[in-house]
Structure 1
């Protein structure tokens, strides 16, 4: 069982969703470019951005609840760079010391919800304004930019290309200012905000597009083309790297992955 809902209004700027999950057996978690605050089964931890799949194993009857941050937004709330959490599960106590341990106790006791904990954190810390250059690069990669180098270079030049969105146009205007970010600096800030470089994020975002499209398409060749892969072999390589399974095993309903799109997302 997996349930997902929109975050409370106060968290809409930093969170993608809130979720609840109960699994009768091991659950394959695949990369999605996000960090999660996870509560349940006797623990409270932050799941960092993944570069490969991992297996979530809980006790029978255990229910996990969590908040999934939007890519690039968790560090400002958590107070730690995302790349320091890459492929890690870090307890709240390790992250915030005694205050984290006390909050974890309250979360496990049900005195506060995961969303409430994030809301309290937002009220207690000074969250920096959104890094617009990183946000625009994430937007371009989510939209299916073919090459990371081209996307980053366009932003560094202030050129979002012929199909500019409103946000990309604003970015282009800002990049004409004297404080415009260099391509090298943008990549460094991207790693700190997201947890890994633009090339890895593009790989993850493209695979998540395939996950979203899979229920509506028949055949791996069609899926690869629709998701933006160069060919079916390209999809196969990324699927093996990110899930540990071939596409035929990963996308079939009888696999260890739940058949719905939301259950394939990293819900822990």
Structure 2
């Protein structure tokens, strides 16, 4: 069973997922990175450019999903080094430090809150430029116009985006647009209307992006017909 709540860290989400049986899951690209706790291990989920398919066994996962662009400052590595990867935290931090954190989480009454505390102790303040970029792209603003508004050239924006998000601003905009469309469709909005309201040319355009980024046809992903 999956549950989430807003984190005390600005823009982040704390979540838990208890898996009662073996199976597979699909994590869609969302512009975010996560710090994960599972079976005594601390891992990092890097930024995805396509659906990440998981074959799971019964276990409980705890995670903190950072606001887009916030994780690299906490981890100390640029996001592009973790693109489409899941890595042990020991690959990024000294093993002794990670062992101390693992011991702390293993004995915590509430691992979710303990994981959140770990992040809060080390997290850097949000970068206003990155926050503004995400807000503009999430609202559907064009990349070029957003760069001008932020006072950045195209190359500088691309360089900053690679380090913060793991890919360029056009890919980030595409992923955020897909998430907006899927959110509408999950609320029952017809696919064609969801596509039009989020900046796709038409339903076929939305369907192509879903197939490429999520790896499934639109109707199969959401379990219903277009309507």
TM-score with structure 2 length normalisation? 0.87
- Of the three residues 29, 32, 40, the one matched with 2:30 is 32
Using the alignment, how far apart are the partners of 1:115 and 1:196 within structure 2? 30
The list of structure 1 runs, each at least 4 consecutive aligned residues, that deviate by more than 6 angstroms after superposition, is none
Using the alignment, how far apart are the partners of 1:120 and 1:134 within structure 2? 23
Q: Residues 92-151 of structure 1: CA distance to partner in whole angstroms, max 9, x if unpaired?
A: 1111122123323433454773543453454357x3x43322221111101112x32232
Do 2:16 and 2:112's aligned partners in 1 also have CA atoms closer than 8 Å?
Answer: no
Using the alignment, how far apart are the partners of 2:25 and 2:137 within structure 1? 27
- Of the three residues 119, 144, 147, the one matched with 1:149 is 144
Deviation at 1:91, TM superposition (A): 0.5
Partner of 1:211: 182
Q: Residues 146-200 of structure 1: CA distance to partner in whole angstroms, max 9, x if unpaired?
A: x3223223322xxxxxxxxxxxxxxxxxxxxxxxx44422321122111211111
- Of the three residues 197, 202, 206, the one matched with 1:235 is 206
Using the alignment, how far apart are the partners of 1:200 and 1:65 within structure 2? 27
Paired residues, number? 222
Partner of 1:130: 126
SS at 1:96 equivalent = coil
Q: 5+ residue gaps in structure 1? A: 157-180, 255-268
- Of the three residues 34, 41, 44, the one matched with 1:43 is 41
Using the alignment, how far apart are the partners of 2:70 and 2:51 within structure 1? 22
Please say if 1:86 is aligned against 2:83: yes
Using the alignment, how far apart are the partners of 1:235 and 1:112 within structure 2? 40
Using the alignment, how far apart are the partners of 1:232 and 1:113 within structure 2? 42
Do 2:108 and 2:114's aligned partners in 1 also have CA atoms closer than 8 Å?
Answer: no
Name which structure has the greater RCO, CA cutoff 8 Å, separation 6+.
1
Please say if 1:7 is aligned against 2:10: no
Deviation at 1:218, TM superposition (A): 4.3
Aligned residues: CA RMSD: 2.2
Partner of 1:189: 160
TM-score with structure 1 length normalisation? 0.75
Q: Residues 229-263 of structure 1: CA distance to partner in whole angstroms, max 9, x if unpaired?
A: 11112101110111101111111169xxxxxxxxx
Using the alignment, how far apart are the partners of 1:111 and 1:83 within structure 2? 35
Q: 5+ residue gaps in structure 2? A: none
Deviation at 1:210, TM superposition (A): 1.4
Change (3 A) 1:252 1:101: same
Do 2:24 and 2:56's aligned partners in 1 also have CA atoms closer than 8 Å?
Answer: yes
Bigger proportion of residues as strand: 2
